[in-house]
Structure 1
């Protein structure tokens, strides 16, 4: 089998896998570039000597500086938490596409206002405007995975939602390296630290422009009763006529799912909340939120937001050395993301990747913590690299190579696909809010954790990663190649670890029966 071979739930015309579907996913994934860029640039920017001098941060104690850094970083996540919840309302009333316009505009307003900060106006300008920008990011983080999953053919859904994660890593890569570049080639000045703040407007502008071109989600249009428009969009995306057998089956799946849910719960803005009375729906909301708890429990956002602090604990001294090692960290993540996107997510599936990432990542964290405790402090007498520091950096990069194709993007993929049509937006809002809530806690308290716990931070994350492997093994089913409308069947099948095989076999038998029934009937083309 080739690297791009697919496992399909039913025979699929090759026209379905076309440039339009990939382009739409890439365009809306400018939103994740915005997220990735912030996670990478903010920690290194506030560590720039020019930023420290501008706001006289050297005059504060280490604990006070840690608190200031935590506030600057974490207020963004606080805004994102509320934005991700608000996105449920916007997506219901104005749709996925227009919601992206709205959140891009809010982000641009916040990010643009950050450029007004200086010593005279103080840090409050940055803190306040980062909340607004975070609100826009939170809404976009809700919308984009939903939008992509609702456009996607089942066989490449993981790959397309993976483009969202790829955008995150590309944004992070730029964020890591831009500060290394300006620290190397620009003299300390107000302009030096303003440039990284200004660059975040570029992906936001491209998202705003691109969202004018992409179509509305056909599944959202179907849910609003706009069948003619929805069918037209779906045919455009699949590059197939409405009379094609594949199209008739997909529309039938959508209709069946909408009818079932309206009969059981009903349509309306508040009706999905009624679905939360159902234990099966509650369970998926719980799983979605817990996936992001365990993702943040790996320690990734501690490294993303406070990479200079992390690399200092590993024995790296000097601003440029810290930025360089941080930049390489970003390169490793981006390269591995391509492998995850093109091969791993839709071939190995979600469960295996998460379990592998938990166990392998935990082992690396235990080793890093042991090195920081026993070797690095004894050798760190000069600014040069030591053998202990090199070993710790190696295992951190190995941890990155293990984490990236597992916990980095896979929770977003699972959450984008495991809810039914009528609870998908609410479920994604809950999942995204959970992501930003746990993200907020990590970004708010990481500086204090390093001050108080030292090497114990690595042992803390290592232990949590062991716990996450147990969680996935017993509670998370494999979702690859399962149609969105069949997720209820998947989650109802026991045991969880074998549910995927059972459902795929059932779908294959149903498809065989349908093909036999249609052999003796006139084709759709003959009717036309």
Structure 2
């Protein structure tokens, strides 16, 4: 039952999704915070002027923690303790790690590194639970729009971090060492807000049924987010049917990840596009834009302002996905985004490498403005496509029995790719300069081709019917048949009760594909 404030169920859907999506602010802020503080001379002095290898290790510490949290902790916590508990535990770890980084002893980079690792674990756990929560409570017809909040809030995190950093760079003389400590400490804001608001949102009905077998709690949760009792009962039957089928015909645990061919196939696809997301060039821009811009501009304050404006436009560009994601679909966005990013990267590399340097090593003002414009145009293509859409597609394609673990593994593949590539990117950039951007252009073209041939469209497909797109059976229909069998068997009172015939997998797949196309 909603409060009087939330008279519209649709408004309440957006409210609860906003709280869950705020977990992505943690990721956006932290992906930007080290990018910001490494430009501070006070940070460098506090940690004894670390070299490029140590700088790479600080980023690696975070990604290793995130990989551990996402691969090994996020799924089990979300499945056994609940999606809300996963978000809460992730926030608590972020808060602890923030204090460790802020108050790391003088010249003790080890404490800062440990904090980065713990904050990665916390985010790996929270980033597994958040998108699953949104996907499981959002109505199918607006699921894409609501999931757009997820990537939008990544940009919000970057926005907060870069503007805080810009303000600190303008008052470095007054703040001293707090010019970087303030940037790190401000990360406390969002996890505290999430922890305060979590008690006001329901658990997910799928989790209530799967883990507690509590239909009443599931029904109560659905009544808070669905418009009619008919919708509630219909969705309850779909969930129960799908879970029944997954439990009896496939596996109720994570072994389905390798037992079920269609799940193996979609996991492989999800791993590829999530790794690809970080190889588009956006991961490197987030982590090292300060170093990149130092090759063009000489003023640290000017670079901080460019980063802040980049994050601001990132929010606006991501919001484009709200009106196009459910209208045009996921696939076309990924293809257009990949091609657009490739073109931007080719031009960026050409403009920087084919223009002369000034005496101080920087570029002329017109070249600098051109490069900033092109990199802003890059995020115009990236944010609604490979930024938002990858998360949306990943969170909706897996069946309930493996969803939490599969989403955790797939999403943390981003950090696997980041860990490998970002460790040597500073060296790559130092030796090859902007020629490195040709590499990103090639990767983006390959990703667009991959999506064209291998990624199916998931627009408007109910979660319980998603398996049909990947050569599997319709879990909803098969489960309803199983439930009907059980009821009729019990009603007959003996082993010879009437049973409904089950369609053969091949026949049902043909029928169900038609149903999905007509959805």
Short-chain TM bin = 0.7 to 0.9
In the alignment, which residue of structure 1 is the partner of 2:183? 196
Out of 396, 399, 406, the position equivalent to 2:375 is: 396
Measured after TM superposition, the shift of residue 380 of structure 1 is 6.2
Tell me if structure 2 keeps the 8 A contact 1:43–1:73.
no
Deviations 1:487-512 (A, max 9, x none): 0112229xxxxxxxx97862586x8x
TM-score, normalization: structure 2? 0.87
Aligned counterpart, 1:36: 28
Which residue pairs with 2:309 in the alignment?
328
Mapped to 1, the partners of 2:89 and 2:278 lie a distance apart of 28
Q: What runs of 5+ residues in structure 1 fail to find an aligned partner?
A: 1-14, 494-501, 512-528
Q: Which runs of 5+ in 2 are unaligned?
A: 1-6, 473-510
- 5 Å matches for 1:33-182? 33-57=25-49, 65-85=51-71, 86-120=73-107, 122-182=108-168
How many angstroms does 1:312 deviate by?
2.3
In the alignment, which residue of structure 2 is the partner of 1:3?
A: none
Q: How many residues align?
A: 472
Query: Is 1:184 equivalent to 2:178 in the alignment?
Result: no
SS of match in other structure, 2:106: coil
1:503 and 1:362, CA in 2 relative to 1: closer, same or farther beyond 3 A? farther
Deviations 1:4-52 (A, max 9, x none): xxxxxxxxxxx98512111111112221111101111211112112212
- After superposition, the CA RMSD in angstroms is 2.0
Q: What residue number does 2:250 align with?
A: 265
> How many Å separate the matches in 2 of 1:212 and 1:147?
14
Distance 2:308 2:357 in 1: 26
Deviation of residue 347 (structure 1)?
1.3
Taking the aligned partners of 2:314 and 2:220, their CA distance within structure 1 comes to 38
Q: Deviations over 1:304-361 (max 9, x none)?
A: 0111112123x12221111111112112211111222x20211121111100011111
Q: Is 1:280 matched with 2:262?
A: yes
CA contact (8 A) 1:16 1:153 kept: no
Taking the aligned partners of 1:180 and 1:288, their CA distance within structure 2 comes to 36
Shift of residue 441 of structure 1? 2.2
Task: Report if the CA contact (8 A) 2:397-2:466 is conserved.
Answer: yes
Distance (whole Å) between structure 1 residues aligned to residue 86 and residue 300 of structure 2: 40
Kindly tell me: are residues 503 and 44 of structure 1, through their superposed partners in 2, closer, same or farther at Cα, counting changes over 3 Å? farther
- For the structure 1 residues 380 and 346, does the alpha-carbon distance in structure 2 shift closer, same or farther, using more than 3 Å as the test? farther
Residue 290 (1) aligns with residue 275 (2): no
Match of 2:14 in 1: 22
Deviations 1:140-195 (A, max 9, x none): 11110011100010011111111121111111111112111111134251111110
Question: Do the aligned partners of residues 278 and 133 (structure 1) sit closer, same or farther apart at CA in structure 2, a change above 3 Å counting?
Answer: same
The aligned residue for residue 387 of structure 1 is 366
Is residue 2:290 matched to residue 1:308?
yes
Write out aligned runs for 1:225-264 (5 A). Answer: 225-241=213-229, 244=230, 246-264=231-249
Structural mapping, 1:331-480, within 5 Å? 331-340=312-321, 342-375=322-355, 377-379=356-358, 381=360, 385-480=364-459
Contact 1:104 1:208 in 2 (8 A): yes
Distance 2:158 2:440 in 1: 22
State how far apart, in whole Å, the 2-side matches of 1:405 and 1:466 are.
Answer: 17
Deviation at 1:134, TM superposition (A): 0.9
Checking the alignment, whether the CA contact within 8 Å between 2:256 and 2:263 is kept in structure 1 is: no
Residues of 1 paired with 2:83 and 2:418: CA distance? 24
Of the three residues 488, 513, 516, the one matched with 2:467 is 488
Query: 1:277 deviation in Å?
Result: 2.1
Indicate conservation of the 8 Å contact 2:468/2:513, yes or no. no
Contact 2:256 2:402 (8 Å CA) reproduced: no
Contact 2:36 2:162 in 1 (8 A): yes
Quickly say closer, same or farther: Cα 1:445–1:17, change in 2 above 3 A. farther
User: What TM-score does the superposition give when structure 1 sets the normalisation length?
Assistant: 0.85
